[in-house]
Amino acid sequence: MIESIKTRLWDKLKEKEVSLAMLYGRDGRILWHRGRDVSGKTVQDAEGFSKTYVLKSIEGGGVVEKEDVFIALSGRDLPVSAHTLRVKSLIIQQVDPELFLYVDSGNRESFDSTDREVVRVVGELLGETIRSIKGKGAGIAGGSAAMARLREQMLRYSLEEEPVLLMGETGVGKNHVAQNIHEFSGRKGAFVVVHTPTIPENLFESELFGHRRGAFTGAAQDKKGLVEEAESGTLFMDEIAEVPVAFQAKLLQFLDTRKYRVLGDTRERTADVRIIAATNQDVDDAIKAKRFREDLFFRLNVLPIRIPPLRERKEDIRDLIQAQAERLRGKRLEGAFWEAVLNYDWPGNVRELINVLTRAGIEFDGPAIGSEIRTLFRHGCDQRESGPADVLDTHRRRIGQGESFWDTAWRAFMERELNRAELKAFLGKYYAESDQNLKRMCETLNIANEDYPRFVSALHRYGIHPKK
Question: 78 pLDDT band (50/70/90 cuts)?
Answer: very low
The overall average pLDDT reported for the chain is 85
pLDDT of residue 416: 67
Instruction: Tell me 264's DSSP state.
Output: T
Residue 117: count other Cβ atoms within 10 Å of its Cβ: 11
pLDDT of residue 269: 94
DSSP lists the bridge partners of residue 303 as 164
pLDDT of residue 47: 86
Strands 268-270 and 223-224: unpaired
Question: 13 pLDDT band (50/70/90 cuts)?
Answer: low
CA nearest to 209, candidates 251, 161, 257: 251
Instruction: Give the pLDDT confidence of 143-192 residue by residue, as tens digits.
Output: 888 888 888 888 878 878 899 999 998 889 999 999 989 988 878 899 99
**Highest averaged pLDDT of the listed ranges 137-151, 205-219, 282-296:** 282-296
Residue 21 sits at the vertex; the CA angle it makes with 15 and 23, to the nearest 5 degrees, is: 140
* Long-range pairs for 253-257: beta carbons < 8 A, 24 or more residues apart: 254/227, 255/163, 255/296, 255/299, 255/300, 256/299
User: Which of 1-10, 172-181, 340-349 is predicted least confidently?
Assistant: 1-10
Question: Count of residues for the chain?
Answer: 468
The DSSP line for 357-403 is: HHHHHHH--SSEE-GGGGGG--SSTT--S--HHHHHHHHHHHHHTT-
DSSP lists the bridge partners of residue 236 as 193, 276
* Rounded distance between C-alpha atoms, residue 415 and residue 336, angstroms: 29
pLDDT of residue 62: 84
Q: CB-hemisphere CA count at 13 Å for 61?
A: 5
pLDDT of residue 170: 85
pLDDT of residue 184: 81
